[in-house]
Structure 1
Amino acid sequence: MGTERVRVVVVDDEHLVRMALRLIVDGEDDLVVVGEAADGDTAITVVKEHRPDVVLMDVRMPGRDGLSATEEILALPEPPRVLVLTTFDSDEMVLGALRVGALGFVLKDTPPTRILDAVRTVAAGEPALSPAATARLIAAATGPRSSDARRTSRDTARGLLATLTGRERQTAHAIADGLANTDVARRLDITVATVKAHTSNMLAKLGVENRVQIALLVRDAEE
């Protein structure tokens, strides 16, 4: 991004939430809110008009929800990064957004400094997900499904993971356990740079966008 400010669009159906987020973001020298939206359809229009770097996306809104809007936004040419906003009573919606390529999420009651850190992290192309949050989202994804659905998902996941090298599979399992890069490196006795290299290779081989999607594939393969 150089010295340019990170351009942010805020999407939330509550006016007070949007106002608070604008105040937080605009108070930083390196960030600026360039647009707001109260629903998914408007979010898509605003993103097309302003071409932000990051979208702070609520998941539950009247009309078009954040999941559907995220999917369409990420299908745009040179799309922004999406950072999901949640109150954590909507785990399935957040999971859906992460599955289609959102790069992370923050709780609405997260301290302002951490929200700002998450925006910067996502703007740099890195996932903004704590290990604890990753573990909870994975747990939410393992709810009851029919035996046929479980078998199909498991077989697909196992086929994809079979394309990885042994070391990459070990890295994938460590990510699925919610470990950060430094902890993965320690477990496997490799460098953090090697962990990052394995992760980049896995993203390309598996056709996924982020670490959470890798973790979900591992969990699907184990069902």
Structure 2
Amino acid sequence: MIKVMIVDDEPLVRHGLRTILEGDPDIQVVAEAADGHAATEQAHAHACDIALVDIRMPNVDGITATRALRAMARPPAVVILTTFQLDEYVTEALRAGATGFLLKDTPPVEIIRAVHDVAEGHSTLSPAVTRHVIDTLLQRHQTLTAQERARLDTLTARERQVLQLVGQGMSNADIARALSTSEATVKMHVSRVLAKLQFDNRVQAALLIRNVDPAPPGSDRGSST
């Protein structure tokens, strides 16, 4: 059973998310909170695996709440859920320790899938967020360090191929279709790539490979899961 806490200042949003999540027999909503301060209190009172956290809330916002939650002795994974996709919120959320970032217009089935992915140790980012943050951060060109180049060299040819497709913003399903393999196999490759590169999420990996191998003109950078 995946134990989830919902953190949002809008009661209607909390109710809607609870309804969506509890429609899955493997997910249990164990707590709700209306701001970041209440979220940390609830997290201590009710052990949870994942916290879905809004960014803009009164008193204590979602970024501050994420830092506090991730600093706990047994921290829950944090997935930011918001209507906003401005790059400063995305990058701040990732720096604060968020595992994922979903827009509130994400279809219910994708929200459920994201919870399962995070519970399995994967990161999850909304397609629009992935495309936006990669393109924005690439404008601040980063020079690869010797360590990053050395880690890239540890990848197998197949892992490098998967990484290049991740760099184009493709989802695991898209990559599976492109490589004529299963989505489970792609997930395995992505996990290995992140481990070898010592990254927490696929946006970091995408930025790295895009600094080495820029996406070809007209390539589809549509989504990431």
What TM bracket, shorter-length normalisation?
0.7 to 0.9
Shift of 1:120: 2.5
Aligned to 2:219: none
Aligned to 2:89: 93
Contact 2:40 2:68 in 1 (8 A): yes
Q: Matched residues in 1 for 2:198 and 2:43: separation?
A: 25
Do the aligned partners of residues 45 and 206 (structure 1) sit closer, same or farther apart at CA in structure 2, a change above 3 Å counting? farther
Q: Matched residues in 2 for 1:103 and 1:93: separation?
A: 14
Do the aligned partners of residues 178 and 17 (structure 1) sit closer, same or farther apart at CA in structure 2, a change above 3 Å counting? same
Q: Matched residues in 1 for 2:150 and 2:164: separation?
A: 13
Do the aligned partners of residues 71 and 216 (structure 1) sit closer, same or farther apart at CA in structure 2, a change above 3 Å counting? farther
Residue 208 of structure 2 aligns with an amino acid whose one-letter code is L
For structure 1, which runs of at least 5 residues remain unmatched after alignment? none
Do residues 24 (structure 1) and 15 (structure 2) align?
no
Residue 41 of structure 1 aligns with an amino acid whose one-letter code is H
* CA distances 1:10-29 after superposition (whole Å, capped 9, x unpaired): 11122222222223333443
Shift of 1:140: 3.2
For structure 2, which runs of at least 5 residues remain unmatched after alignment? 215-225
| Selected match of 1:163 from 151, 156, 164 | 151
Shift of 1:9: 0.4
| Greater percentage in helix | 1
Count matched residues: 211
Shift of 1:211: 1.5
RMSD between aligned alpha carbons? 3.1
Q: Matched residues in 2 for 1:179 and 1:14: separation?
A: 32
Shift of 1:56: 0.6
State the identity %. Answer: 47
SS in 1 for 2:75: coil
Do the aligned partners of residues 80 and 62 (structure 1) sit closer, same or farther apart at CA in structure 2, a change above 3 Å counting? same
Shift of 1:7: 1.2
Shift of 1:97: 1.9
TM-score, normalized by length of structure 2?
Answer: 0.75
Q: Matched residues in 1 for 2:18 and 2:184: separation?
A: 35
SS in 2 for 1:141: helix
Aligned to 1:61: 57
SS in 2 for 1:106: strand
Do the aligned partners of residues 53 and 94 (structure 1) sit closer, same or farther apart at CA in structure 2, a change above 3 Å counting? same
Do residues 71 (structure 1) and 52 (structure 2) align?
no
Q: Matched residues in 1 for 2:60 and 2:34: separation?
A: 10
TM-score, normalized by length of structure 1?
Answer: 0.75
Moved more, 121-130 or 30-39: 121-130
Q: Matched residues in 2 for 1:221 and 1:99: separation?
A: 23
Aligned to 1:125: 121
SS in 2 for 1:64: coil
* CA distances 1:127-181 after superposition (whole Å, capped 9, x unpaired): 33355542223123345x5xxxx5xx4244x632432235344433321111233
Aligned to 1:208: 199
Aligned to 2:143: 154
* CA distances 1:65-109 after superposition (whole Å, capped 9, x unpaired): 222322332233342222210113433212332344423232213
